[in-house]
Amino acid sequence: MSKEAWEKFYNENPPPSGLHNIEEQMKNFCNYHASKGNCVVLVTSGGTTVPLEHNTVRFVDNFSAGTRGAASAEYFLKSGCAVIFMHRTKSLEPFVRHVSVSDLLDSLQPYESSDNSWKLEVQGSICNKLIQLTKAYKGILAKNMLLKIQFTTLSSYMHLLFLAAQAMKTLGKDAIFYLAAAVSDFYIPEQEMATHKISSDEPINLTLQLVPKVLQPLVRYWVPKAFVVSFKLETDDSILVQKAKRALSRYGHKLVIGNELNSRKEKVIFVTEEGERPIVISKEDIERGSEIEEFIIKELLDDYKKFKNCS
């Protein structure tokens, strides 16, 4: 991919509003942890949308609830890493993911206190879970270990990724990029997009352009010292390792985690320059509450320590 391709994308697609404030938040977060000698992980999570109109009514979306990213962020935090969690708006988040809104509402009981004010009481088995989750979450926030950034569109994701790279560049080898977001492969350029809602009176033909692969500039120019991890999702298991190896060779990063759509909760494959190795958990382990992300992060951090210790 030519340098002009991704530069053209950034020049032609507008950044999200409030970008300066987000940039300052990320810089301050990274500077704080750089002063402490902490590792900072950027976890991207959830899918991106591609609008079909400037005044967006319709869009093309990528399949992702953000499960892997949210769970992985938790395990990075439990391992002592600071995390910038860059996620799709309304996708799953660390800690919050364990309790649904409906379960929370079902557990709340309003009552009128002696001073005639209304209060809420948490009832049922969810109470202990909420106490443990709240203690863990508040403890993370008190130590300034988690920064959450939201995106929705492909354009906002791309601009935020660039800003995160600029903020994390000074961390050198203390930076990990864990790119678990489901990023669109195709988009409609700004100048080709309809201004208003597309009429439904007749069929439409859409021509989508390829999204420039920013892994190359990320690894080569933006954060050349960082430990960069990408994901490869396929529906055909027979081509998964081959495509992961191709990505590793093309972009020159440290690790590709391959997963097949229907088995991704039980098995992934680590693909590195040294070869490939599976990470597998059984369905019985899953039923007992284990998550494959715990094993992914443990294995990944072992690889990262070896990388960091190399001259």
Mean pLDDT, range 290-310, rounded to an integer:
95
Per DSSP, the chain holds a count of helices (H) and strands (E) of: 10, 14
Residue 173's H or E segment, with its range, is none
Mean pLDDT, range 14-35, rounded to an integer:
94
Domain range holding 37?
Answer: 3-91+144-225
What backbone torsions phi and psi does residue 42 show, to the nearest 5 degrees?
A: -90, 115
Question: Cα separation of 182 and 88, whole Å?
Answer: 10
Question: Cα separation of 103 and 216, whole Å?
Answer: 43
Q: Is residue 32 part of a domain?
A: yes
Question: What pLDDT, in 10s, does the model give residues 28-70?
Answer: 999 999 999 999 999 999 999 999 888 888 888 888 999 999 9
Q: Is residue 104 part of a domain?
A: no
CATH number for the domain spanning 73: value is: 3.40.50.10300
Q: Is residue 50 part of a domain?
A: yes
Mean pLDDT, range 106-128, rounded to an integer:
90
The confidence band for 118, taking pLDDT boundaries of 50, 70 and 90, is very high
β pairing state of 267-272 and 275-280: antiparallel
Question: Cα separation of 124 and 109, whole Å?
Answer: 10
Q: Is residue 86 part of a domain?
A: yes
Mean pLDDT, range 135-151, rounded to an integer:
98
Domain count, the chain: 1
Q: Is residue 128 part of a domain?
A: no
Residue 151's H or E segment, with its range, is strand 146-151
Nearest to 77 by CA among 114, 33, 119, 116: 33
Mean pLDDT, range 178-200, rounded to an integer:
89
The confidence band for 2, taking pLDDT boundaries of 50, 70 and 90, is low
Report CA dihedral (119, 124, 129, 132) to the nearest 10 degrees: 50
pTM, 2 dp: 0.94
SS3 of residue 257 by DSSP: strand
